[in-house]
Amino acid sequence: MRLPDSVTGSFLVVLGAAAAYGGWILPPVPGQPVGPNVFPLVIGIGLALCGLAIVFGIGHSFEEEEELVPLEDGQVAAPPPQSKLYGLRALLPPALLLFYVAAADRLGFIITAAIMVYITATALGAKWKLALPLAALSPFAIHLIFGKLLRVPLPAGLLPTPW
């Protein structure tokens, strides 16, 4: 997800301009010179200016390149596969969280959580022998801590817990 500075900078310019405009059109408080519109206006303009500076590469010389820790002799790391789909794996955790939002009420906490754990564990390279027991047990443990001890109303759904 390393984008060129011109892309992120332009995005900030657009966002800043939108925020400034959004602030500008807010209704003022009657009889007062300043209201809820001032702060977004200031921030939007500041953000847009920063975006412009980034597009033109100002301040780039301050950036330190990330130091890559060299590996020990004898250990050779497998080069990560560089296909386009590989980069998309990073989106898996937020996607699973959205899945939780969509499914938890219908399926219940235990089932949704088990699916989340299984997918995350497999994506990180666990074999099914490890991922399956983990997915079966960890939702109960979390439910015990949050649902039982801390009384968070977790949805029961299809599979109510025995307690």
Partner 1 sequence: MLKTLIDAFALISTWEVIIAMFAASVYGLVIGSLPGLSATMATALLVPVTFYLSPIAAIATIVAASSMAIFSGDIPGALLRIPGTPASAAYADEAYAMTRKGQAELALGAGVWFSAVGGIAGVLSLMILAPPLAEIALSFSTFEYFWLALLGLMCATLVARSSPVKAIAGMFLGLLVSCIGIENPGGVPRFTFGITDLFGGIEPIPALVGVFAVAQVMRAMLTPEPPPLPRRKFGSIMAGQWKLTKKYHWQMTRGNIIGIIIGVLPGAGADMAAWVSYAMSKRFSKEPEKFGTGHVEGLVEAGASNNASIASGWVPSLLFGIPGDTIAAIAIGVLYMKGLNPGPTLFTEKASSMYAIYLMFIIANILMIPLGIAMIRVAAYILLAPRSTVMPIIMLCCAVGSFAIGNNMFGVVTVAAFGVIGYVMEANGYPVAAMVLGIVMGTMVEQAFVTSLIKSDGSILPFFERPVAAILAAMAIGALLWPVMVWVWRKVKPVQAAAATTR
- Nearest residue (CB) to partner 1, 27 versus 162: 27
Q: Is 160 in the site for partner 1 (CB under 8 A)?
A: no
Among 36, 106, 136, 148, which residue sits at the site for partner 1 (rule: CB under 8 A)?
36
Q: Is 140 in the site for partner 1 (CB under 8 A)?
A: no
Please report, as residue ranges, which positions from 107 to 126 form the binding site for partner 1 (by CB under 8 A).
109, 113, 116-118, 120-126
Please report, as residue ranges, which positions from 60 to 79 form the binding site for partner 1 (by CB under 8 A).
60-64, 69, 72, 75, 77-78
Q: Are 22 and 44 in contact (CB under 8 A)?
A: yes
In angstroms, what is the minimal distance from the CB of 41 to partner 1? Answer: 10
- Nearest residue (CB) to partner 1, 107 versus 135: 135
Q: Which amino acid makes up residue 53?
A: A
What are the tokens at 116?
A: 């989340």
Q: Which amino acid makes up residue 112?
A: T
Only one residue has tokens 């955790």, namely: 93
Q: Are 22 and 36 in contact (CB under 8 A)?
A: no
Among 68, 150, 162, 163, which residue sits at the site for partner 1 (rule: CB under 8 A)?
150
Which residues are CB-neighbours of 104 under 8 A, at least 6 positions away? 112, 154, 155, 157
Q: Is 106 in the site for partner 1 (CB under 8 A)?
A: no
In angstroms, what is the minimal distance from the CB of 162 to partner 1? Answer: 19
User: Which of 112-122 are b and which e, b meaning 16 or more Cβ less than 10 Å from the residue's Cβ?
Assistant: bbbbbbbbbbe
Cα gap 154→100, rounded to integer Å: 12
Q: Is 86 in the site for partner 1 (CB under 8 A)?
A: yes
- Nearest residue (CB) to partner 1, 6 versus 158: 6
